[in-house]
Structure 1
Amino acid sequence: MKRNSYMTVGLTVAVLITIGVASYFLFFKQDDLPVIQEPTPFTLTNALDGETYNSDNGKVKVITFFYTNCPDICPLTLRDFMKLEQELKADGLYGTDVELVAITVDPEVDTVPVLENYGAAFQAEPTGWKVLTGEKADIDRITRQLQFYYSKANSGLVTHATTMYIVDRQHDVRAVAQMATTGDQPVDIESIMEDVNVLVAEKE
């Protein structure tokens, strides 16, 4: 009788442990990409088609900031965006589930015609790559919400942060990445794709 009691207790403990482990993966594993920031949606002008772009469109996004006169980090980063575009196309996600969003922080210089030519230099395919400009006040609101620092000097040179943002379908920032650097550090495309695929798989 006592032996059966021990077996019952042992079985109960094993079941509880199994439930505990399952609960961990069900309820805590999802926090691998917690909500970092909750910026409000925005509307800007997409220079690639001249249309108004609304970020509240239910798609996962990789957002970076840039300016066309940037001598190093920005063009290096957008060059890596070209590789990211190819990865997304290979997975059938480009434009349908995921967008690449590049927002200028120098809208006085980066007009629609300027950005149209700039985007063409990187072969930005407009169905999934948005090159955006707009009123400085609107861009400043976006950068403040994302805590993205930038400052323009009288010379025209812009000092800026190097953070990129991976945004889910609900427009929440769920992960960040770093822009490319002149020290031969490219954008971590593999890591971005892992995060993007997690967010794509989530239900709206």
Structure 2
Amino acid sequence: MEQEQKTAVSRKRYTFPLIVLAVCLVLGGYILWSQNSTSKYPKGADFSYTDTDGQTVTLKNTNGNVRLLYFFYSYCPDVCPPTTFLMSQVQDELKKTGDFGKDVEFLSVTIDPTRDTPERMKEFGGKLGADLSGWKFLRGDEKATAELAKKYQILVTKDEEGNFGHMNLIVLLDKKGRIRDWISANDYFANGKDNLPLSDFVKKITDLL
């Protein structure tokens, strides 16, 4: 009888901590699930493109780096050249701190792959100061690229004469491939006293490192 009482007391002693532990595990799991399911940063849509050296580049295989993603075309008559040059200035600032090509990568995807051959994109990037060691110029299927841009909330259009139009926004992705910002290049090179300094652009990137 005495042994049975001791056993019952022992069970009571260990049962309650085990229940508390189980509740904590369930609660912890719920909190993690809740945080992941309600994240305010949307996951970027994956893609698979070929760079100017014929290598396959995807969103997944660039994870671990902060990325700038820009939809462009080299025959663009207005915004693409100055925006690409702006990005090259940001690139140069990041090279000073050793972040470019190591923890930060630039991805420029052409919306006009028929005319934007690898050679053409290399020439375009070279004229505007792009360092291909950390900056990939990418091309793939035209229709699929327009659809991808839409997933990143970038509108791409093409008229009956084959002229392209697109929103001039640069997508900022963090190391996990989440969209953290849409950066308007116009805020940095538009004429006027309210232009944002280049350091503001750089800080948006370095804050994610």
Flag structure 1 segments of 5+ consecutive residues without an equivalent.
Answer: 1-33
Q: How much does 1:188 deviate? A: 5.5
Q: Which residue of 2 aligns with 1:189?
A: 198
The alignment's C-alpha RMSD in Å is 2.1
TM-score by length of 2: 0.72
Residues 187 and 159 of structure 1: CA distance in aligned 2, closer, same or farther (over 3 Å): farther
Of residues 148, 162, 171, the one that matches 1:165 is 171
Q: Which residue of 1 aligns with 2:119?
A: 113
Aligned length in residues: 166
Find the structure with the greater CA-based Rg: 2
Task: Spell out structure 1 runs of 4+ moving beyond 6 A.
Answer: none
Moved more, 155-164 or 165-174: 155-164
**2-structure distance, mates of 1:187, 1:93:** 22
Opposite residue 100 of structure 2, the aligned amino acid is Y
Of residues 79, 95, 103, the one that matches 1:89 is 95
Opposite residue 207 of structure 2, the aligned amino acid is V
Flag structure 2 segments of 5+ consecutive residues without an equivalent.
Answer: 1-38
Which of the pair has the greater relative contact order for Cα pairs under 8 Å at 6+ separation? 1
Instruction: Say whether 1:52 aligns with 2:52.
Output: no
Q: How much does 1:41 deviate? A: 2.3
Residues 35 and 59 of structure 1: CA distance in aligned 2, closer, same or farther (over 3 Å): farther
- Map 1:6-155 → 2, pairs under 5 A: 35-47=40-52, 49-56=53-60, 57=62, 58-155=64-161
- For the residue of structure 1 that corresponds to 2:207, the secondary structure is helix
Q: Which residue of 1 aligns with 2:186?
A: 180
Opposite residue 50 of structure 1, the aligned amino acid is G
TM-score by length of 1: 0.73
Q: How much does 1:45 deviate? A: 1.0
Q: Which residue of 2 aligns with 1:31?
A: none
Residues 153 and 164 of structure 1: CA distance in aligned 2, closer, same or farther (over 3 Å): same
Residues 63 and 188 of structure 1: CA distance in aligned 2, closer, same or farther (over 3 Å): farther
